[in-house]
Every structure is written in C-alpha cells, then in structure tokens.
C-alpha cells in the first residue's frame, strides 16, 4: 500500500510537470495569430450571398434587404455573438407617403385620381353632396364678398398655386379649394404624373409625415373636369370678367373622399456583441451599411444593383471580423474591451440607421470609445491602378490625434498599405467625411476612422458585381481593420476625443 501511494504521487507530479511544459512551449497568441485567419475565401462566400441577384439590390425596407439581414443575423448567432437587442435586431422606424384611394364624384359622374384631379395631402377629407361654386379666374378679387362658407370652390387661373389666396378661402369657411392652373388636359396630365411619381417614390424619413393645412383641402383639377362639372366651355370660364357673369354659372354638387397613405417601412440595424474582459464597459463599434439602391432600369437589361462593393464589401468585412474575434474569445484570447459589430440600414437614403442608433443607442454613447466604419473596400479606383495596395483613410485625425497615430503605426507594423488621405480634407468637393455612417458618431464627439476604396465607374450601377471584387486586396484591408480594432481593444490607454 505504501509503495502504491508513492508511485501514484510521483505519477501525478510528472503529469502536472509535463502539462506545464506543454503549455509553456505553446506560443502566446499574438495579433497575427488571428489576423492571419481573415480569409478571402470566407469573404467571397459571404459576398456571393449578400450581393446575389436574389437580394434584389437590398433597397432599404425591401424583401431583399430583409433577407440579407436574416443572413447576417444567422452568421452572428452561429459564431457565438451576443444579441444585445432582440434577435440581433434594432428596428429603425421609417415612413413614406404613397398614393391612396381618393375619389371625386357627382350624381352622374365619377372622376379618377391623377387623370381628372390630383391630391397631395394626407387626409382623410370627406364630404357628401357639398355645393361647388366657381368663384374666380385670374381676377381673384371677384370672390372677395361671395358667401363660400361650407362650400367647395373652384378657381381657374394662369397663376401658380402659391400666387393664389388658397388659405384665405379656407379661412373664410371653404371646405375644399379646387385649382385648375393647367392650360389644357395634356399639361394637367404631365403635372398629375409628376405628383403621382413623387408620392410613389417618396423618400423615406424617420419622421412620420403630418398633415399640413396647405395641401389637406386643396385639389388640382383638369380643364375637362371643370367643363364636365359646370357644363361650360373652359375658355368661357377663363374669360369671365364680372360678378354678374360669375353668377350665371350655376353651382354644382360634389362628393369627395381624399386620402393618401403613410406606409411604415420595415427595416433595422443588425447588431452582434462581443463582451470584453477587464475593460468591457469601453466599446468599439465596427460598422458597415448592408442596404443598397435596389432595382433601377438603366436600359441595358440588368436592373439589379447588387452593390458588391457598395457596401457588400464592408458588410462581409464586418461579418469576417466578427468571426475572427469570436474565435479568439472562444480560445481564451478575447479582447479587453467590448466590440459591437453592426451592419446598419438606410445609409443610401440618408444615413438613417446610424442616425437612429446614435439617437437610441443600445450601448450608451458615453461608453463608445471609437467607431470604425467600412464603406467600399473591395475595388481599385483609377488613381491607383499602378499602386493597388492602398486604402483611403478618412477622419482618423479629426477628433483624436492619438487615434490617427494608432492607425498609422498599426498599418506600418502589420499590413503596410498605402494610406491615401485625399478625401480626408474637409474641403474636398466630395465631402466624404460627412457622407457615410461614421458621421453620426463623429457628430457625437466619438473618434472615427472611415475606410474607403474610392469612386469607380461601377458605383451605383448594376455592374457593381462580385466578380469585380479584388478579394486578396479585400482580405488585406480587412486585416488592417482587424489589427486596428485589436490594438484599440487591448491597449492600456483609452482613446479619447481631443
């Protein structure tokens, strides 16, 4: 028994010593341990999905963008990021106008929106069998002492709507003002078509449209519409010059229901969180926008703007950076500071996703140390055909000289890309410092870096395709962002705005 105990003890000591020797023999993880794992193959795999035709150009709020968002969510979930918002998603409420079901009718006729009349307001405005009177042509003073309370009124004029006393008539009790300011039906149809197109292509906004008195009780009508209502030639109506002539035009009755729609656009930011260790309350936010401009007919048969570079390249960069950092954490080498990986919506229509996030941050902005924004890093522009190992760096020195120093030293140590500061000049006509999502962080005094490859001939065109991406160069640029993030996340000193 004594002999067995001694042998067992010796064995345990030997195993412990052997395990210690093995651990000590293993090289300590360095930035390159993980930076070298950034993979062009992975970037191409992700981008082949993000910029596929099935995504339909990823227009903000579109089915294709939602599909891309789901793909990014599933990636964040699979690699083990934390969902700091429900299902890795921050809903961004956007609103837009759309044509509604507006109707005008008399006892024997029905009139069509955008053919006989056009309504620009929101509504609803509704009246049944209200008296409609013709009050004036260009000599609007003829209507000054008419009783128009509770009636709909018509003006035929060669003037523009803002030159006519519409609000005065409404203040005097008119329920509806109709303007015929088109010389003929063809001119009206062109005008009504522009109104319809305006409503159908209404730019989304974070602010819900509200009714304004200017257009809620105003309708533009065609000359033939006027003739049908008053059974009087249009030219005769325009030529009336006295009250006595006006009074010969008998009132009509009209029923109307006027409304346009306010549609809410379903879209949002996709966020994946990697918690740090001893400095976890200090956060680096890495962003790229995953929306693009959708489908537009440019006359060459290809309607889908796949946006492989803009900003598919930035989107897949965020996905690959998240994968590598998550792997480092799983292997016990996670960063000291936390990193938020975020693909944002609505960049193409006004930086809406990043604006909404900075106004409604999931992590307080006081804890946000730096934003690194990636928007187009997969191509070579004409200025660098002879020097392709480059990247445009924008904004690194604007709020923190220390951040700029870290950026340059990190590049010199690991990637040695040419840093082109052409667009860093705030006086540059392109004004790129204010044209991507980093700007909403910079406005809040958060130091930023914007990585960019330049404007190329396929920018915002269907020809911005995956097969034109320079994947080895994309890999190198993503490694630059990785090393910069790693340094910022692990250094002792916190980056602060100057």
β-strand partners of 98: 261
Number of H helices, E strands in the chain: 15, 18
* Ramachandran area for residue 352 (φ above 0: left; ψ -120 to 50: alpha; else beta): alpha
Nearest to 422 by CA among 446, 400, 391: 391
Instruction: Quickly state the pLDDT bin for 299 (edges 50, 70, 90).
Output: low
* 396 and 441 assigned to the same domain: yes
Question: What are the tens digits of pLDDT across the range 465-484?
Answer: 999 999 999 999 999 999 99
* 78 and 171 assigned to the same domain: no
pLDDT score of 16? 42
pLDDT score of 297? 63
* 166 and 36 assigned to the same domain: no
Final residue before a domain boundary, out of 229, 263, 297: 263
pLDDT score of 4? 34
The yes-or-no verdict on residue 34 having pLDDT over 90 is yes
The yes-or-no verdict on residue 11 having pLDDT over 70 is no
* 87 and 108 assigned to the same domain: no
* 76 and 108 assigned to the same domain: no
* 110 and 253 assigned to the same domain: yes
CA distance 414 to 425: 26
What is the total count of domains within the chain? 2
Q: Are 495 and 488 in contact (CB under 8 A)?
A: yes
Question: What are the tens digits of pLDDT across the range 255-269?
Answer: 999 999 999 999 999
Nearest to 292 by CA among 356, 376, 361: 376
182 in a structural domain: yes
β-strand partners of 263: 96
The yes-or-no verdict on residue 7 having pLDDT over 60 is no
Q: Give the range of the structural domain holding residue 192, as residue numbers without chain letter.
A: 98-263
Question: What are the tens digits of pLDDT across the range 380-436?
Answer: 999 999 999 999 999 999 999 999 999 999 999 999 999 999 999 988 999 999 999
pLDDT score of 21? 42
147-184: b (≥16 Cβ within 10 Å) or e: ebeebbbbbbbeeebeebbbeebbebebbbbbbbbbee
The yes-or-no verdict on residue 49 having pLDDT over 90 is yes
pLDDT score of 24? 43
Nearest to 404 by CA among 389, 414, 393, 418: 393
Length of the chain: 498
CB atoms < 10 A from the CB of 8, how many?
Answer: 10
| CATH classification at residue 411 | 3.40.630.10
Strands 89-91 and 268-274: antiparallel
Q: How far is CA 127 from CA 84, 123, 345, in A?
A: 50, 12, 41
The yes-or-no verdict on residue 142 having pLDDT over 90 is no
Please state the pTM of the whole predicted model: 0.85
CA distance 355 to 348: 12
pLDDT score of 302? 80
| CATH classification at residue 239 | 3.50.30.30
Instruction: Quickly state the pLDDT bin for 8 (edges 50, 70, 90).
Output: very low
């Amino acid at each position: 028994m004594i002999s067995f105990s001694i042998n067992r003890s010796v064995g345990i000591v030997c195993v412990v010593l052997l395990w210690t020797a093995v651990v000590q023999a293993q090289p300590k993880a360095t930035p390159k341990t993980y930076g070298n794992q950034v993979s062009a193959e992975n970037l191409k795999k992700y981008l082949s999905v993000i910029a596929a035709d099935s995504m339909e150009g990823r227009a903000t709020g579109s089915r294709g963008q939602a599909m891309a968002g789901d793909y990014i969510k599933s990636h964040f979930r699979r690699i083990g990021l934390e969902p700091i918002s429900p299902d890795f998603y921050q809903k961004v409420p956007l609103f837009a106008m759309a044509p509604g079901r507006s109707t005008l009718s008399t006892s024997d006729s029905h009139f069509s929106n955008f053919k006989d009349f056009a309504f620009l307001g929101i509504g609803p405005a509704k009246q049944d069998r209200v008296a409609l009177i013709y009050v004036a042509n260009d000599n609007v003073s003829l209507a000054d002492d008419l009783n128009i309370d509770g009636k709909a009124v018509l003006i035929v004029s060669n003037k523009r709507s803002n030159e006519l006393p519409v609000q005065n008539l409404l203040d005097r009790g008119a329920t509806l003002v109709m303007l015929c300011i088109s010389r003929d039906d063809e001119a009206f149809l062109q005008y009504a078509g522009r109104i319809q197109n305006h409503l159908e292509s209404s730019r989304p906004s974070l602010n819900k449209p509200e009714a304004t008195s200017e257009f809620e009780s105003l309708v533009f009508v065609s000359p033939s519409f006027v003739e049908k209502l008053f059974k009087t030639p249009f030219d005769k109506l325009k030529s009336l010059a006295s009250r006595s002539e006006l009074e010969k035009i008998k009132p009509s009755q009209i029923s109307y229901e006027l409304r346009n729609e306010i549609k809410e656009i379903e879209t949002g930011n996709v966020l994946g969180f990697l918690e740090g260790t001893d400095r976890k309350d200090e956060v680096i936010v890495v962003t790229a926008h995953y929306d693009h401009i959708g489908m537009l007919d440019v006359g060459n048969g290809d309607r889908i703007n796949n946006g492989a570079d803009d900003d598919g390249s930035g989107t897949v960069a965020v996905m690959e950076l998240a994968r590598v950092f998550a792997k480092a954490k799983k292997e016990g080498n996670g960063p000291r500071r936390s990193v938020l990986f975020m693909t944002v919506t609505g960049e193409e229509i006004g930086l809406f996703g990043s604006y909404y996030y900075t106004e409604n941050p999931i992590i307080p902005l006081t804890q946000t140390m730096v934003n690194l924004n990636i928007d187009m890093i997969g191509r070579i522009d004409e200025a660098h055909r002879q020097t392709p190992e480059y990247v445009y760096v924008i904004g690194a020195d604007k709020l923190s000289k220390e951040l700029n120093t870290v950026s340059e030293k990190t590049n010199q140590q690991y990637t040695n890309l040419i840093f082109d500061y052409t667009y860093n000049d705030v006086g540059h006509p392109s004004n790129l410092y204010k044209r991507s999502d980093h700007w909403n962080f910079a406005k809040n005094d958060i130091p930023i870096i914007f990585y960019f490859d330049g404007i190329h001939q396929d920018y915002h065109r269907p020809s911005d395709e995956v097969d034109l991406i320079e994947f080895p160069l994309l890999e190198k640029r993503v490694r630059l962002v990785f090393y910069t993030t790693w340094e910022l996340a692990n250094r002792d000193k916190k980056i602060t705005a100057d």
